[in-house]
Structures are given as structure tokens and as C-alpha cells.
Structure 1
Amino acid sequence: MLKPTSIILACAIAALQLSASQAQSTYPARDVTFIVPWNAGGSNDVAIRALDPILREHGIKLVIENVAGATGTIGMRRVATAAPDGYTIGMGTSSTLALIAQGKTPLTNAQFTHIARVSTDPLMLLVPTKSEQKSLDDFIKLMKDNPDKVTVGTPGSYNLNHIFASMTARAAGVNYVNVPYTGGSKVVADLLGGHVASGVLKPSETLGQIQEGLLKPIGVFANERLEMFPDVPTFKDRGYDVFPFGPVVQMAYVVAPAGLPADVRTKLITAFRAAIQDPRFKEFSKKNAFLVDDLTGDGLTKEVDSVAAALGTVAAQVFPKDQKE
């Protein structure tokens, strides 16, 4: 025979389980906090804000918060440590993946539930339009003539942007000065202000300044030219190998904390898939020169693990182990 205290405890547990079940079945019952681990105005921030009104049509109302710092680690740690109820999610990126792969952050991929890939992005080397360097060859010559002095701005450090900045200097056969920022918009601001000579950035975070004639892309870190910028050569076009240690990709994807209930994950995947495949977002992606696909759930988890492994392999070659952080 159960004691009264045991009966009370059993009833309390049953009530909590019922409450959790009801919360899951009615998800989302309130707004969902979406953490962008970069400054406002950057490509990831712009992308989720473009998805937001479409997601609302599918029952997901976002409250977007920018939590920048430590190459995405600060914001993503907030996602990882949130309650796994679907009310705090965020934007994972290759930048944070690179840190995870190198052991430069306490985060692990196992701390996240993967929802949907939002974008894969090409990266470009840009200079202010008023710069004396009008081409990629001009810039490589500048680096050769000024070893250890030419500055390259990157959103974060020890990530893909940093890798490509280092590959640019490698093509010139010299060292350079890497200048990390907490987001692409900060790099753009200092490029326009003349505080750095160049930047490694995405088209989506520089398109406005390019169209206004303020910034000039001089090289694409890819094997093929971009449809939007057919006159901008790839590094390969000019005879520079920026993939000597293997291919790597820049991407952004939606994650939730590990342990997310299966039905909540399904609802998030369904809503984000519909929004990402929506013709309005596809048109937005085309105008901003990034790619979208239909990679979600377990397929995304496998891709994240694959990209992290590739980034770890390349980073081990690019950044000496004794390099100070």
C-alpha cells in the first residue's frame, strides 16, 4: 500500500508529465527567441529577418536577439544551455563549427539539435573602391611589397574567413595582420573608414556597399565565378590555390538545444523547411548571392559533422598549434 507522501509525489510527477505533454502538443504557445550570435546587419541576421515574416505564416513567431562575441560562441552557448522546449533556438555557422573542430570553445555539436540549413555562402576578398589596389593581382603585390603589414578584416577568428585571409597571404608568400571583428557589419564599417585594407566577407553582407560603389570585390574564394559578379575572378582564375588542404564551405543553419522533444523538432523542421523553400526567400537568396537547399534534421546533422571535420583538418594546417589566440 502506498504511503500518502508517495501518492502525492506520484500525482505531482504525473501532473508535470501531463503539463509537458500538453506544452509539446500545443507548441508553439508563445514567441520563440532566436539567437543570432553576431552583430545586427550581418548576413545571418539579415537572413533570419527575411525568414521571420514567412515563418509567422507557418505559426512560428520569432523574437530575434543579437548576442555577439567570441566568433559566435557566446550566443551559441546561450542556445546550448537553454531549456530544450523549442522556445530558444539560434543560428549555427561554419565559424563556430571551426572553433569546435579546433577545441577553441567549450561547445560541442552534441549540445545541439539540428533543424534546417538556411544558406551556404561564397566568400570574397574586398577592398574600398578608393583603394589603389584595383585587382587581385594588385593586392597580392601589395602584400608582397609590405610583408607583415597589410591588414585583412574578418568576422571572428580561427574560422573560414580567417582561413581564407591566411590563404591570401600564403599566395603572396608573406605574413599579414589579421583583424577580427564581432560581425561582418563591423568589418564593413572599418573598411569604409579606411581602418583595414581589405576584408573577407559574404556578398550578402556587402551587396549594398558594392552597388553604391563604396566597396570593390577583387577575388572569389571558390572554383567558379559568382553569377551576380561575373567580372570578379576566382583566386583559381588568377593562379592562386586557396584550397591546398581540401575544400571547405561557409554555411548557416538553425539549431535548438539537445534533447528537444521529437514533435517540437518536427514542427520546427516543417516550418523552417516551408519558409526556406518559399519562392520569396529563394528570390531573396538569389538577390543576395547565397544558396539555399533542402537539408534538414538528421541529414543536416551528418553535414555538420562532415563540415566540422573538414574545417578541423584545414585549420590544423593553416594555424600552427603554438599560435597565440
Structure 2
Amino acid sequence: MANVIKLKKGLDIPLEGKPVKEIVDAPRSEYYALIPDDFHGVIPKVIVKAGDHVDAGTPLMYDKNRPEVKFVSPVSGEVVAVNRGERRKVLDITVKSDNEQTYVDFGKVDLTKLSGEQVKEFVLNAGLFPFIKQRPYDIIANPEVSPRDIFVSAWDSAPLAPNFAFVSKGEEKNFQAGLDALKKMTTGKVYVGMSVQNTVDISGVETVLFEGPHPAGNVGVQIQHIAPINKGEVVWTLSAFDVLLIGRFFNTGKVDFSRIVAVTGSEIVKPIYVRTVAGARLDSILGNNVKKSNYNQRFISGNVLTGVKVDPMGYLRMPHSQLTVIPEGDDCNEFFGWATPGLDKY
């Protein structure tokens, strides 16, 4: 039986706009973008140019510090722009999607017959390694360093966050395959943290159940309560949504960046789950589902606490499985509002 860890400290912020358990398919986005800022500490080296045709899984750039860490296109199509900012900083690489998608064929392999180094090599070549983070520092993991343990959080306790147990229905084999791949890459244990209210059936790993308010679902909090990191130790962490990407890859031999995204917030007409592809433009996901208003609205890729403010015609960031739309809040005119106790605000 799985361990249950009960946490008392924290706070669940009661925001409006929780998604109903219903999934709809988003229309194909015309444009997709890979944004280097989504990956901390990366110095990107772009290896494509405008006019190049790429398949889903074709490398678009790599990390100058670690050339083996590649970043691939989520879709097939034409590279239409490599947008740069001040001092030629790479802002994004934009791909215009093909009507019919083509994929790089990495070949299906028998995961049980691969060594840990071979699994790691496949994940690196597929461009999925950037989704593996290391602690300390929460940066892309160093593939040359073997982790003590690997931690996966299958519970996002942030406001209005997607329910992984619901989203992963029908993908149980992919999730298990992703966990099996992670087991190959460590001599330690793979821990999966879940909510006591929403569990997923898995085997071969350590399942730990958590109960309590946010941030009980944060992987850092879970590490502290399961097996704290000591000086000199390194552990790897992943979101359960990213484990699905790895599992799909080993089950199909191709990179499939499909995501089911929770469209949330008080400014959404019908908060719901939408099936799309990571990096898609927001208009393809939101459609006419945003309320008409005479005040400013804030569009967030992610949740209200740790998400990224984006333009309404911006893109779903690669690591995110949630979109949030809320009032900007710049129309309030309260005298000394910042200094008042706010007893009527919560």
C-alpha cells in the first residue's frame, strides 16, 4: 500500500473557472513556436533558417554548453522566422504547420532490452531531454551525471490546475512506458507523487500519496517529505505530463507533442480541456471561448502563480498544460489598496 503524507501548511486559492471534465479537439494551429526562455540556463544555437522544411522531431536548436541536448520541432512544416531581440537573443523559432503531419522515424525499440545509457541516448536524440530537470537549481538535467533518484509529480495543486488522472485516461501504457524508461536512467528509485483523491495505476515504481493544500503537489515539496537532497546529491524531476511524451516516443518511435490543456479562469466562457499540440498559438486553443469585456484581460500560459504572461496571439509554452485568462486588475481605484488588510478579499 502506498504511503500517505498529510500536509497542513499551505493555501488553496479559490479562483473561478475550474474546467469541467470534458475534452474537445482544438483546430490545427497555423503556427507553432519553440521559445528558448522556457528552458532555464540554455544558451541556444539555432541550426535552421527561414525557409527550411522540418518534420516533427527535427532539431531546431541545441544548447551551446551541452550540444547533445537538442530541442526539436513539435510539428512538421516550414520554418518561417527565427525571431531575435536585443543583442541577437533568440526569442522564438516559428514553424508554419503542414496540413498533413510527417514525423522523424526514430524506430520502435524494445525498452526492456536497452541499457540506461541507450535509453538516455534515445531521449536526447528525440529532443525530450530538456523536459527532465535536476535539483538543485531546477535546470535541464546534466546527462553526464547519474541522479540519485527521479521524482515525478502526477498532481498539480496550483489554482485551477489540470487533473492528470483524468487527462491520462487512455494513455496508461504510455505513462507506464515513460516510467520504465526513467527507471533505466537511475540506479536509485523513481518516486511518483499523487493526490489521495486522484490516483493512477502504475507498477515498478514507488508511489507516494499526498493530502493537503497547495503546494502539496509541487515536486520540490514532495522531495522534501520523501527523500530530501543532501549536499552533493543530484536528483531529476519531471511533470507527469512530460513522462507521457517519453512513453509515447518509446511506444511509437516518433515524437508526439500532443497535450490536453486545461483552459481555465474567470474570463473563460466554458472552462474545459482542449486537445492540442505544445507550442500552438493561443487563438487555436481559445477560439471564441474568452468573454467579451470592456476591461483588460491577462492571458497566462500556465497557472496564476508560476505561469507566464503571454499575448492573446502568443503561444502555449512547451512545458505547460494549462491556459488561464483572468481580469488584468488595472481598472481598480482603491485608496491605499496596497496597505489595507483586505479582509473582504478572500
Higher strand share: 2
The structure that is helix-richer by fraction is: 1
- The structure showing larger relative contact order (alpha-carbon pairs under 8 Å, at least 6 residues apart) is 1
